[in-house]
Amino acid sequence: MAYVAVRGGAEAIEASLEHLQYERVKEGAYVAVETLQATMRGFLDQVMSESSLYSEQLAGLAMKQSEGNVEEAIFLLRAHRSTLPRLYYSTTTDARNMFVLRRISASFKDIPGGQILGASHDYLHRLLNFDLLQETAADVVAQKAEFEAIEVPDESELPLENLPKVMDYLRQEGLIREFPENDAEPSDITKESMAFPTNRSQRLQTLTRGQTGTVTSLGYAGLRGYGASHPTVGEVRVGWQSIHVAMDDEDDPYYIGAIKLTEVESFIPVNVDSEDKQVLEFDIGYGACFGQNETKAIAMSIVDHALETGGDTPIHDEEFVLLHVDTIESTGFISHLKMPHYVTFQSKLEQMRTIKKEGKSL
């Protein structure tokens, strides 16, 4: 059977695109990219995390262009990213130096520096606020002024720029395995495709840019029995992370700005062999991602540990996990099923008709 090229859809596609543009403007309403940046924090953070490109400006633009369609916004950003040159690599970024805006632990009540709730949806009742239906620009300005007028302490001694890590205290007690600093250059999955078995840097890079829902579901599956990791969250921190680039002199880098990050350490009890007996220690599952994406980072820490330890269930299977968490790969492959498959389907159809006619089985 030969393939036959056909044409005829160009005008229909052109009209379809015009309809798409019309859908975006048909209500006559307008929203500025700056407004989206200012008011859609969670959406921007998710899109930047999954597209693996930190730019609030571009994420806001992608959101506007895609009409809030997350997978489309990520596709736009990944496509745009592919047109830009990679100019530099940053110096090593360590979230110990994060300017923390929120930091909590589920493992200890009293932690050095304290439980800092910051801004979070966690403490809401999740009731719709119908007042927002009538909200005006003046209301927003008034609410902002009201918050800024709240009395606060004259001085703060909070060391938000160098809060200690909760896990350091368990390490000092010998309850968490100590590792020396490993400065081996990481692999980069955007430069070289993964081959299995993977290394740790490939796994972490794949998970941090993974689809939020998929990473969360895999972490959830791990907790429900499809994995051997049952963590307690040691620390979640969210804040501004300074980024530096060094040219010739590593000791005199350029500061290029700060990005918002979420970082999580989960404590997972494990039995380890020690002097001919089994002792209980904690492993750490690690999660980190762009923006304030706490659920994703916690789930990532569960999946990270599952992939490190191995096991028989799906979330311990690195091929299963790493080849299916990427937004572009999964949505792209699923949505390609909408594309014309006329020839292959006709081929199958012909085959079935012939078999049926001849009364044969496959």
Partner 1 sequence: MKRAERTKLLIEVGRELALQLAANICEQYDVQEISPPKEGLVMIKMRETAQKSLFYIGEVLVTETKVKIGNHYGIGLVKESEPELSKALAIIDAAYEAQLPETILWIPHFEALAQQLHINQQQIKRSIERTKVNFDTMAT
What is the token pair recorded at 240? Answer: 């501004």
Residue with tokens 């292959």: 344
For the CB of residue 255, give the shortest distance to partner 1 in the complex, in Å.
4
Can you spell out the DSSP letters for 260-302?
EEEEEEEEEEEEEEETTEEEEEEEEEEEEEESS-HHHHHHHHH
Site for partner 1 in 132-171 (CB under 8 A): 150, 152-156, 158, 160-161, 165, 167
Binding mask 286-305 for partner 1 (x = CB under 8 A): x-xxx-------------x-
**Which residue from 254, 257, 236, 233 is spatially nearest to 245, judged by alpha carbons?**
254
Choice from 122, 183, 275, 312 touching partner 1 (CB under 8 A): 183
**Helix, strand or coil, per DSSP, at residue 19:** helix
Site for partner 1 in 112-131 (CB under 8 A): 114-119
Please report whether residue 18 would count as binding partner 1 according to CB under 8 A: no
List, in order, residues 6 or more apart from 153 with CB less than 8 Å away.
none
C-beta of 35 vs 97, nearer to partner 1: 97
The three-state DSSP-derived secondary structure of 141-198 is HHHHHHHHCCCCCCCCCCCCCCCCCCHHHHHHCCCECCCCCCCCCCCCCCCCCCCCCC
Cα 274 → chain centroid: 37
Site for partner 1 in 61-100 (CB under 8 A): 81, 84-96, 99
C-beta of 96 vs 348, nearer to partner 1: 96
For the CB of residue 45, give the shortest distance to partner 1 in the complex, in Å.
12
Strand 254-274, strand 277-290: pairing: antiparallel
Site for partner 1 in 209-228 (CB under 8 A): 209
- What gap in Å lies between CA 181 and CA 263, rounded to an integer? 18
φ, ψ for residue 216 (rounded to 5)? -65, -45
Binding mask 340-359 for partner 1 (x = CB under 8 A): --------------------
Piece of the chain touching partner 1 by CB under 8 A; list 14-22, 241-249, 271-279, 348-356 = 241-249
**Which residue from 237, 252, 278, 276 is spatially nearest to 95, judged by alpha carbons?**
237
For the CB of residue 277, give the shortest distance to partner 1 in the complex, in Å.
24
C-beta of 26 vs 86, nearer to partner 1: 86
C-beta of 256 vs 279, nearer to partner 1: 256
C-beta of 32 vs 355, nearer to partner 1: 32
For the CB of residue 164, give the shortest distance to partner 1 in the complex, in Å.
12
Angle at 246 between CA 243 and CA 251, to 5 degrees: 100
For the CB of residue 92, give the shortest distance to partner 1 in the complex, in Å.
5
C-beta of 58 vs 215, nearer to partner 1: 58
Site for partner 1 in 21-60 (CB under 8 A): 48-49, 52-58
Binding mask 244-283 for partner 1 (x = CB under 8 A): xx-x----xxxxxxxx-x-x-x-----------------x
Helix axes 70-81, 41-51, angle to 10 degrees: 50
Q: How many residues bind partner 1 (CB under 8 A)?
A: 85
For the CB of residue 94, give the shortest distance to partner 1 in the complex, in Å.
5
